[in-house]
Amino acid sequence: MGVMLAVAAVLAALIGVLLGLLGGGGSILTLPMLVYVVELDPKEAIASSLFVVGTTSLVGMIAHARAGRVAYAEGAMFGLAGMGGAYLGGRLAHHVPATVLLVLFAAMMLMTSMAMLRGRRGRDGGPTADAGKGPIAPAKVAKALALGFVVGNVSGLVGAGGGFLVVPALSILGGLPMPRAVATSLMVIAMQSLSGFAGHISHVSLHWQLLGVVTIASVGGSLVGARLAKYANPDTLRKSFGWLVLAMGVFLLGKQLPPGVLRDFGTPAGVAVVVALAIVFLVRGAREQKTLETSTPSAKPI
């Protein structure tokens, strides 16, 4: 158990670093790590993942809150609806087969990877810095509550934070600029993840020592990643992580296939194809970026 705890701590710390570097997304690797490395039962891994995600997001929100980037009104509205959905999702998970839950999680990983490879829209020409400070229109309130409940329900059911859904919802429905939407999403993710965890613990037994070690390592890693973020190219990092999540999603989906040639050979082949594509696109992107930098004339002092 000691070796397993050490391995889990190292991997959780690395996932936390990714979370801190990206401002979100790294938590989606927690569930596969708990299932296939630590070898937890899928339903226990989902509950544990929700606790780790919720706690790490809560700690990550503190720095944004000190900087005044968290929109508490929009976050509370979306988060309370998400908490209701997440708690219900956590209770429903007891009646859903583990294989179905893992397939749903793999589908969420594929959706997340696509969102990260596309990139976030609205960086320029989006909502202004003052957006989200005034009252929200009733129609947007209804949409935010409905969407918050649905996102929370999926999050509680499969054990993912759902940040790739929360951020655009806060930006579009709440009118928040991207930095405030990202900061506020951590508040929402923490609320709905911990609520989903509460829905799971009534029918899942947990290894609290393991859960404590993984959570502390993930939180510590996220703080380190946040400090390293200023040295990394965010676009390259986001795309690299998007390819990693896509490969993991293909692997997780393939593992749910019945035993046979398709699972035993098709799964590694699919992962290999994703890795090959990632290398091609990342190398091409790096070359294009280098060409752009060399072709752009540097400003000369007057």
Structural contact between residues 54 and 215, judged by C-beta atoms closer than 8 angstroms: no
Domain locations in the chain as residue ranges: 2-292
Sign of CA dihedral 212, 188, 13, 242: positive
Q: Is the pLDDT of residue 82 over 60?
A: yes
- Name the pLDDT band for 205 (thresholds 50, 70, 90): confident
Model pLDDT, residue 139 = 66
Structural contact between residues 200 and 54, judged by C-beta atoms closer than 8 angstroms: no
What DSSP character marks residue 265? I
Which token pair is 169? 């919802």
Mean per-residue pLDDT, 126-154: 66
**Size of the chain in residues:** 302
Q: Phi-psi region for residue 22, left (φ > 0), alpha (ψ -120 to 50) or beta?
A: alpha
Residue 15 to residues 96, 132, 160, 210, 237: CA-CA distances in angstroms?
Answer: 27, 31, 14, 16, 13
Mean per-residue pLDDT, 217-229: 83
Model pLDDT, residue 298 = 54
Half-sphere exposure for 196 (CA within 13 Å, toward CB)? 41
Model pLDDT, residue 301 = 52
Looking at per-residue pLDDT, the higher value among 175 and 125 belongs to 175
Which token pair is 3? 């070796």
Model pLDDT, residue 45 = 86
Q: Lowest-pLDDT range, 72-86, 212-226, 286-300? A: 286-300
Give the residue among 117, 157, 139 at the shortest CA–CA distance from 249: 117
Predicted TM-score (pTM) of this structure? 0.73
Model pLDDT, residue 134 = 53
Q: How far apart are CA 143 and CA 109, in angstroms?
A: 24
